[in-house]
Amino acid sequence: MKEGEDTDWEYRCSKDGGEIVWYTLYQRYTLQPLYTGDSGRYQYFGRHRSSNYEKNSNIISLIVSVSVTLQHKWSQIFSGETITLRCEIKDTGDTEWEYEWTTSSSMKPPKHSEYKIIYVLPLDSGDYRCRGRMRSGQQSSTEWSDAVTLRVSDKPKPVLSVTPSWLSPGASVTLKCEVEHPSAGWRFYWYKTVPKLSDRLYRYELLPGSDSGTEEDSYMVHGQTHTAGYVCRAGRGEPVFYTEHSKPTFVWSGDFPPSASLTVSPDRVQHFTSDSVSLSCEGNSTEWRVRRYHDVWFPCEIKGLELS
């Protein structure tokens, strides 16, 4: 009993019209811990011992609900994504809460309502639960929420197919990008492969209309006239999480370019460091380019296609 409390009063507390505590000496009823079953309509009644004078409080509605929500609406999460878990406590009062998490993963969660993982990894997989603790002196806690199960897989790599593989000049080509979990909110990005002049790798140029991705997992290229390579990838979320690029897939044209010929002057097998040598790459096209390699096999190329 605290100093100054009036001991001539006794109290009872009612939930949903039923009696919980009969004639306590204090004007406080503590729920410890708070469970979802404690939700209801509460009212205090007081009676003065000497005069039998009674008074009652207003009806207070208490709603206790604890849940963990995942920012993403997708059940499957991939390595490299940014995810946010939130602990949500619903009540009708203005209670200030402290938060506690428990997880079966190897990570140690924070002690606030939001749990953000900037770069999620497979080791973050597991069950996540939370509960709240009142900041008041009562130190009352809620029950643990139901678990949210996080499954983290390696970043997917899509597969690109082209139809047809061989075409006549001017025909249309359909690209199709297949990725794991096709219903997981993906948008698709389409690229044309362009060989780099500095090495034997490719750079990728976005095809028209795919800057922001397409909802459809297919894309049509009209008026294809020559052999070309294509690549796709998928993305989702904000900021956008991208899959790996697919392997380059080529569509081959039946109209082959004219062959090229390399001539060396002076025309002999062995040359010496003091000699001058002239190389000439010739063909029936104005688009030939001469390219020098050290200890590799490709002396000429046309439109980026290396020829032996």
DSSP for 150-180, please give it. Answer: EEEEPPP--EEEEE-SEE-TTEEEEEEEE-S
Q: What is the mean pLDDT of the chain?
A: 75
In this structure, which amino acid lies at residue 46? G
In this structure, whether the domain defined by 65-153 belongs to CATH 2.60.40.10 is answered with yes
**255 vs 154, which has greater pLDDT?**
154
- Residue 95 CB burial class (10 angstroms; 0-12, 13-18, ≥19): middle
pTM equals 0.59
Give Dmax (Cα) for the chain: 128
Closest CA to 173 of 76, 73, 255, 249: 249
Distance between CA atoms of residues 299 and 303, nearest Å: 14
Output the pLDDT for position 47: 77
Output the pLDDT for position 24: 52
When the candidates are 1.10.3720.10, 3.40.50.261, 3.40.50.2300, 2.60.40.10, the CATH number that belongs to 159-253 is: 2.60.40.10
Distance between CA atoms of residues 276 and 262, nearest Å: 17
Output the pLDDT for position 1: 35
pLDDT in tens, 35-83: 555 666 667 777 777 777 777 766 665 656 778 888 777 768 899 998 8
- Distant-in-sequence contacts of 17-26, Cβ < 8 A, 24+ apart: 17/41, 23/47, 25/1, 26/1
Output the pLDDT for position 295: 43
